[in-house]
Amino acid sequence: MKILLEAGSAEVVEKKSRFIASVCSVNTPEEAQAFIDRVKKKYWDAKHNCSAYVIGKDGQYTRCNDDGEPAQTAGLPMLEVLLHSEVRNIVVVVTRYFGGTLLGTGGLIRAYGQTVKQALENSVIGEEAEGYILTVEADYTDVGKVQYLLAQKNITVLNSLYEQAVTFELQMQKELLQGIIDELVETTCGRIKIKDRKECTFIMKTDV
């Protein structure tokens, strides 16, 4: 499941109308509504504050609101962008300051959808992944080789303990485990010691 790690924002100007996207991570419809209310209070002088949210791993809770725009020209295209992104537990409000020129149905759909898309692109998105925490012990003579290998493979080092030997606690995706073990053994000519391995889930950054 993709989730929001850091909320971004976006502003799109279309024929002098300003569209401002506000994004937040939420866990319940009540939290989503509270965020929508806060944004409406912040932009109380705007003509429209349209909203959409998707909550639950399978999108059990979805809702969109046109807030006075023509039906299905604001909330629905916003919701479709969220669903297509596969980001869950997220709410977005797009505030519109009317610029004096009517955009038409197609123009509104594009503007609201594009504003949400840009806000997601400006956010940091993470994805739940199944993996392992692998604990290994290396001789001091092999530490440089081990560190170089881990950096090359982008393996996360959760902890390093320097005692008589050096113990590394590593986090990686499940499918990488055996390959990393094999390469550590090869790199250290068999001197590496596998102390422990346990399954885990963790969040890794991803793209929308």
Which residues are CB-contacts of 176 (< 8 A; sequence separation ≥ 6)?
131, 153, 155
Cβ contact 9:20 at 8 Å: yes
Which pLDDT does position 205 carry in this prediction? Answer: 79
**pLDDT grade, residue 67 (50/70/90)?**
very high
**pLDDT grade, residue 75 (50/70/90)?**
very high
Which pLDDT does position 1 carry in this prediction? Answer: 83
Q: Read off the pLDDT of each residue in 163-186 and give the average, rounded to a whole number.
A: 95
Which pLDDT does position 164 carry in this prediction? Answer: 94
Which pLDDT does position 5 carry in this prediction? Answer: 94
Q: How far apart, in whole angstroms, are the C-alpha atoms of residue 38 and residue 18?
A: 19
Which pLDDT does position 73 carry in this prediction? Answer: 96
Cβ contact 113:182 at 8 Å: no
Q: What share of the chain is helix, strand, coil (3-state, %, to 5)?
A: 35, 40, 25
Q: How far apart, in whole angstroms, are the C-alpha atoms of residue 102 and residue 31?
A: 33
**pLDDT grade, residue 27 (50/70/90)?**
very high
Residues 91-115 as b/e (b if ≥16 CB within 10 A, e otherwise) read bbbbbbeeeeeebeeeebbbbbbbb
Its pTM stands at: 0.77
Which pLDDT does position 100 carry in this prediction? Answer: 85
**pLDDT grade, residue 203 (50/70/90)?**
confident
Please determine, for residue 208, whether its predicted confidence score (pLDDT) is greater than 80.
no
Q: Read off the pLDDT of each residue in 142-157 and give the average, rounded to a whole number.
A: 95
Please determine, for residue 206, whether its predicted confidence score (pLDDT) is greater than 90.
no
Please determine, for residue 68, whether its predicted confidence score (pLDDT) is greater than 80.
yes
Domains defined for the chain, CATH in brackets: 2-122 (3.30.230.30), 128-206 (3.30.70.240)
Which pLDDT does position 107 carry in this prediction? Answer: 95
CA dist 99 → 12, 49, 95 (Å): 12, 15, 13
Mean residue pLDDT of the chain comes to 95
Which pLDDT does position 185 carry in this prediction? Answer: 96
pLDDT tens by residue, 164-175 = 999 999 999 999
